[in-house]
Structure 1
């Protein structure tokens, strides 16, 4: 696998305390949240969790990439939505891994155009580029 070369334009900084049962905050104070394991994993579920944060980031990033592609293609994506489902589970090697489904709705274009836009956005999105070849990412046009 080739390491992607990037000319950095922005760097986000976040610090976690006490891992999955603590707090995560950004250096600028715009994000400061309690994190707790979900009830499904034996936690109290009182706070958010890393998978929810990843889903939020991926869906927002993919929506942005969809906008870039739509402008290039002169396609109307108004009213579009991207829902990221991030699953956490055990790997055959005994560790843990992620699985993602991106469900994308683009109501103002036909199905073929929507599929094409989603596939092109998947090539542009930084999260997609970071996860490609590492985790299973399913794209669904709804």
Structure 2
């Protein structure tokens, strides 16, 4: 899916793969990476791409909820939260390849379940992470 116009471009560089480092061009992100034991690593002190993806998707999805809420004149509470679980494993139907699956659990205090589910469904259509992964990542949405 293409965008009409880039409003912002993030730039980052990784060195050393899953046991290296990752940095942003502005220096705000400078982290050590390590591989989880489940993927054959030493489970070192660093983070991993799946954790970064989970945190980014969760933060972005809250932004999408706020945009959708504003359209409907419904304020998303400051304590709204997204629990993102990003799993990695063998890709179904592509021998030797890996894929990811995402489960997002949304907490929207002050909203009844049906209203929250409608906002979440619409936010899933708006969220750039959802749009970038649609058709390539299994995304499960639920409202807590």
For residues 70 and 111 of structure 2, the distance between their equivalents in structure 1, rounded to whole angstroms, comes to 14
1:53: which partner in 2? 52
1:93: which partner in 2? 94
1:26: which partner in 2? 24
Residues matched between the structures, number: 140
Give the superposed CA RMSD. 1.0
Unaligned runs of 5+ in 1: none
Return the match for 1:6 from 4, 7, 11: 4
TM-score, structure 2 length as denominator?
0.93
**Offset of residue 43 of structure 1:** 1.1
For residues 133 and 24 of structure 1, the distance between their equivalents in structure 2, rounded to whole angstroms, comes to 27
Aligned-partner SS, 2:68: helix
**Offset of residue 4 of structure 1:** 2.7
Contact (CA 8 Å) 1:77, 1:109: kept in 2 or not?
A: no
Contact (CA 8 Å) 1:69, 1:121: kept in 2 or not?
A: yes
1:141: which partner in 2? 143
Unaligned runs of 5+ in 2: none
1:39: which partner in 2? 37
**Offset of residue 6 of structure 1:** 3.0
Write the deviation string for residues 52-101 of structure 1: whole angstroms up to 9, x where unpaired: 00001100000100011111112232121011100000013220000000
Aligned-partner SS, 1:4: coil
For residues 13 and 133 of structure 1, the distance between their equivalents in structure 2, rounded to whole angstroms, comes to 25
